Structure 1
């Protein structure tokens, strides 16, 4: 194993890494990478692989012990390898104190971001003055993939029943066959019977289409998700068709925020303030019969205004799909009338994605986005545990 000698501009490197908004993802991956680093360092010290006989053997493996270690991103629990004689000591603790963890953060960011192993090798060489094995960097990257894959494919039949499911898509840039292409990222969340939010999963695909949406939704069925009472989304035609065919009997709720925007888009700029207030009144109703009455009053009030003809038509045609949430218990109304909370999550995902701008491949995109969603889900669980205590 190559021994690295650090010779860095620490403040400059640390600032560039810590300002990248990747701390949450870095911390969730920190233990994995450092444990692998120490394990390989012990292998290099012993000069033999597992179960290998050699006259060059230095010592015997003797399991691991746990050690907490404070880093810039917070306290982490490491699994430290040891040898029978006790003479082996990982250099990580001394080195990472000396360099203030900057090398680890920089390397982790590059690995999680999906930067090619060649670039990682060149950057490490430039920063440290020594080469690090390309195969070692590749092995670190490979260690992340099974973890995010296992999380993305975990069974859903063990969680509390989720009556309300939210789905949405966003677009990212990916390099493919020497070209930069747009790809759709599908994300699904849910609210369970305890009114707690869950992350169901994600998928990276070529584009928004019926086939892609159907495959995404069917993956939840395969993982054991019980048919939800309601799915909340925008009005993408392919998505609507996929919902109807995948979850027979499930109600589709059209996102009221998107719906109102569609109506407002067709309003003339002059005099629209009063019209918008009347429109909002419809969706401030609690009961569907009240909303329907307010809608009829709206249509009657503006029936002679030819400039509002298109807006009235959009409202009338999409109204029933946009008030389905009113048939559910009142306590859920603030959460299930729109996809707002999922869009806020998408914004956080976008902040991480914007660090890379263009992913080197689809797998690197999936790795980073899944890592963030895993961190988000774990944070929510920790918050619930603190509230219980």
Structure 2
């Protein structure tokens, strides 16, 4: 007779652990027994003494016994053990934190003291799943204080803020490896942009620019190439970013899309002399709207649309002249001046057909990512240092891109293997096949070596 829910749960957990897989579990009848006890309300699922807690305990202890058997060279209960120099010597208690709460384990030991558990290493106080959960919560925008409260209130595990901080810091090595990883020799399209983050500098909290580069590879997948923190966004710093990308293997970029920052085109072309630099049309519209009264903005935007949707460069120039001579050009000459000053960097995309225009006329591909990053960092208040900001941005990017990659994998099979625990494949570029066709015709000598 089973005397308590805990004993019943422990017995069923041991049966499940012994089954090995779902089919064997069903064949043994333990699965039906488990569901029957749950339906009858005689078995608690979660909580300190819940079935999930007992299940983790049973699986870990069974695995530890298997490790010890392999270390000693005999199974538990084997009579031949009396002839061997080393043998089992009971166990000692240990509590580890897990995704379902604290789990009490009996860690086996040997008489010679040479057994070193791998499943639950010495000094370890957490299961790997809990670390992954903490990192996921952190990447989603929760602060260390929020995570501490969340773990205590949901699964009953108490971890100090110092421990949680250390867990998130453990990814820094992976961040550094990612930041310096080799890159593809060519990215047909490169998007460059920055977002503002608040970072403590001495006794003050200052706004700094987190520079982000996103490259579209030959498969049309947008990949974040790196994150760089600087006091402000400047052409000189962007020149250093481009040089670093070149040092990591990027030999050519066909088209670079960026905002209207002064000196930006020269900074890019200092590294890739033949790159076509395209000023983001959306940035240009926003910049010109700064000089337009709020009530007139819709009408002015409608007139400006005739410029950037023109079929040719000549037609765009005609539309600009008509705007200049019209009501709004006369009323808002500063808005017109914005377009005139940026004209040479605005018109390159007008030479391409619609399939490629859609890809390069705006940096929205990176701004979509930036929007999601801003939602995550807004809860932070500020970061203690640059490294902390890069760490969170990287984790958030991994989280965002993992979701995109998995969504893509549901609809197609990819032959690219994932890297580490993260897929980090980024979003696919809409209409890429047609855009790549245009690029291959426009830049045949630069693309052909990489398409074969």
Q: TM-score range by the shorter chain?
A: 0.5 to 0.7
Unaligned runs of 5+ in 2: 1-45, 49-95, 414-452
Q: In structure 2, which of residues 272, 284, 291 is the aligned counterpart of residue 266 of structure 1?
A: 291
- What secondary structure sits across from 2:365 in the alignment? helix
Post-superposition Cα deviations, 1:228-279, rounded to whole Å, max 9, x if no partner, equal 1111111112534422322222121111112122223334567665543222
TM-score by length of 2: 0.58
Partners of 1:357 and 1:132 in 2: how far apart? 21
Correspondence list, 1:158-197, <5 A? 161-197=186-222
Q: Hey, what does 1:310 align to over in structure 2?
A: 334
Q: In structure 2, which of residues 352, 357, 367 is the aligned counterpart of residue 328 of structure 1?
A: 352
Correspondence list, 1:160-239, <5 A? 161-239=186-264
Contact preservation (8 Å) 1:163, 1:228: yes
Q: In structure 2, which of residues 356, 374, 384 is the aligned counterpart of residue 350 of structure 1?
A: 374
Post-superposition Cα deviations, 1:355-381, rounded to whole Å, max 9, x if no partner, equal 222112221111110112123333343
Aligned length, in residue pairs: 314
Correspondence list, 1:241-252, <5 A? 241-252=266-277
- What secondary structure sits across from 2:205 in the alignment? strand
Q: Hey, what does 2:93 align to over in structure 1?
A: none
Residue 194 to residue 287, structure 1, CA distance change in 2 (3 Å)? farther
- What secondary structure sits across from 1:359 in the alignment? coil
Partners of 1:203 and 1:144 in 2: how far apart? 17
Post-superposition Cα deviations, 1:29-68, rounded to whole Å, max 9, x if no partner, equal xxxxx9999xxx99x9579xxxxxx97827344x5xxxxx
Contact preservation (8 Å) 2:256, 2:278: yes
Q: Hey, what does 1:339 align to over in structure 2?
A: 363
- 1:59 matched to 2:115: yes
- What secondary structure sits across from 1:323 in the alignment? helix
Partners of 2:322 and 2:356 in 1: how far apart? 27
Q: Hey, what does 1:366 align to over in structure 2?
A: 390
Q: CA deviation at 1:107?
A: 7.7
Partners of 1:169 and 1:382 in 2: how far apart? 26
Contact preservation (8 Å) 2:190, 2:216: yes
Q: Hey, what does 1:277 align to over in structure 2?
A: 302
Correspondence list, 1:122-137, <5 A? none
Contact preservation (8 Å) 1:174, 1:360: yes
- What secondary structure sits across from 1:195 in the alignment? coil
Residue 383 to residue 226, structure 1, CA distance change in 2 (3 Å)? farther
Q: CA deviation at 1:321?
A: 1.5
- 1:378 matched to 2:402: yes
- What secondary structure sits across from 1:57 in the alignment? coil
- What secondary structure sits across from 2:253 in the alignment? coil
Contact preservation (8 Å) 1:162, 1:192: yes
- Superposed CA RMSD in Å reads 4.3
- What secondary structure sits across from 1:370 in the alignment? helix
Q: CA deviation at 1:338?
A: 0.9
- 1:254 matched to 2:301: no
Residue 130 to residue 231, structure 1, CA distance change in 2 (3 Å)? closer
- What secondary structure sits across from 2:252 in the alignment? coil
Partners of 1:130 and 1:376 in 2: how far apart? 28
Partners of 2:377 and 2:184 in 1: how far apart? 30
- What secondary structure sits across from 2:187 in the alignment? coil
Contact preservation (8 Å) 1:112, 1:367: no
Residue 224 to residue 91, structure 1, CA distance change in 2 (3 Å)? closer
Q: CA deviation at 1:221?
A: 0.8
Q: Which structure is richer in relative contact order (CA contacts within 8 A, separation 6 or more)?
A: 1
Q: CA deviation at 1:120?
A: 10
Q: Hey, what does 1:289 align to over in structure 2?
A: 314
Q: Hey, what does 2:184 align to over in structure 1?
A: 157
Partners of 1:157 and 1:355 in 2: how far apart? 35
- What secondary structure sits across from 1:277 in the alignment? helix
